[in-house]
Amino acid sequence: MSRVYNFSAGPAVLPEEVLREAADEMLDYNGSGMSVMEISHRSKLFQNIIDEAEKDLRDLMQIPDNYKVLWIQGGGHVQFAMVPLNLMKHKKADYVITGQWAKKAWQEAQKYGDARAAASSAESGFTYIPKAEEIEIREDADYVYICLNNTIYGTAWHELPDTKGKPLIADISSCFLSEPLDVSKFGMLWGGVQKNVGPAGVAIAIIREDLIRPDIEEFVPTMLRYDTYANSGSLYNTPPVYTIYMCGKVFKWLKRQGGLEAMQKRNQEKAAILYDFLDHSSMFVPTAEKDSRSLMNVTFVTNDKELDSLFVKEAEQAGLVSLKGHRSVGGMRASIYNAMPKEGVVKLVEFMKDFEAKHANR
């Protein structure tokens, strides 16, 4: 067996230790004689899995007691719809457009109410996060929506916007559990787990209890209401049991690594290795503005499309896979999530140096 260094943006690399544990338990989970995929979601065995996963997540993120943790199928795109359906009380919300995922969330919200762009970095090709003074929040907005880490463009918020007291709603899909976050600053956080947490299949919403409204419009489907999940412990219908089990294992792995402060330190170290190289390279150019750089997704180009393709191809042959940038922007992207070991980043930089030397006279 040989494992590669996988720089995919998602679904993405998982900790090898976790995959091995899951493999060991595949045929017989905890003496049950069954795989987790085969057990009832109403069984005590599964209830323990989901309870423990929630407890570990609460410990890791220090989630206050007045926030609920909800496990919701449908991934990110379903959250684009659920947020306005549930939280746009007066049909007015302000979105900061920092990339394609924020834009899609904004467009989905427009189907339902008056969703406005409070600021946008579209004109630059989303290379930066708008400054506080560029962001216009309406007095009567129901909430302010941001995408905390912009997976496609490699940018991230390093300072939260002043929402003038409106609940801040954030998509944290691609920076979920990458560093400590003060949950109390948000009305709701949600993340698809397939970027930095677990296998595809679920989004986790962490929502302040007072925002879960029972009085939303009748037409909203049962499975698109936050209260359905809150009132049933996310067990209204069959949840993705295996995904939840795997997320639980990753939470335990994160605790063994020393929690989110330790992860932050490691992630900063990894990102610094790559950005330092990019800042000094004569071939590779980082695309995100310095003060908006993401620790998780590092985007860069050579300014020569053919050379970009060649790089991606040769890297793959060297066991460094999925470095191609998102289909909407091209170039390269190295996603260096929690489970990417530092050695992977060091290998990548060594490879880039060699590539640069080899193709210098192109």
Ligand X SMILES: *Cc1c(COP(=O)(O)O)cnc(C)c1O
CB atoms within 10 A of CB 27: 10
CB nearer ligand X, residue 191 or residue 248: 191
Candidate list 5, 101, 157, 186; residue touching ligand X; CB under 6 A:
101
The token pair that represents 20 in the structure block: 């091995």
CB atoms within 10 A of CB 87: 22
CB atoms within 10 A of CB 351: 18
> Is residue 192 part of the contact set for ligand X (CB under 6 A)?
yes
CB nearer ligand X, residue 173 or residue 267: 173
> Is residue 151 part of the contact set for ligand X (CB under 6 A)?
yes
Active site residues: 101, 171, 195
Residue from 199, 169, 184 nearest 73 by CA: 199
CB nearer ligand X, residue 68 or residue 195: 195
CA distance from start to end of the chain: 37
Partners of 205 in beta bridges = 70, 190
> Is residue 195 part of the contact set for ligand X (CB under 6 A)?
yes
Residue from 218, 196, 278, 259 nearest 85 by CA: 218
> Is residue 147 part of the contact set for ligand X (CB under 6 A)?
yes
CB nearer ligand X, residue 29 or residue 198: 198
Q: Which of the 8 DSSP states describes residue 241?
A: H
Binding mask 42-81 for ligand X (x = CB under 6 A): ---------------------------------xxx----
Q: What type of residue sits at position 261?
A: E
Candidate list 6, 155, 174, 267; residue touching ligand X; CB under 6 A:
174
> Is residue 243 part of the contact set for ligand X (CB under 6 A)?
no
Give dist(CA 221, CA 228) in Å, integer. 10
> Is residue 11 part of the contact set for ligand X (CB under 6 A)?
no
- The binding site for ligand X (CB under 6 A) comprises 10, 75-77, 101, 147, 151, 171, 173-174, 192, 195
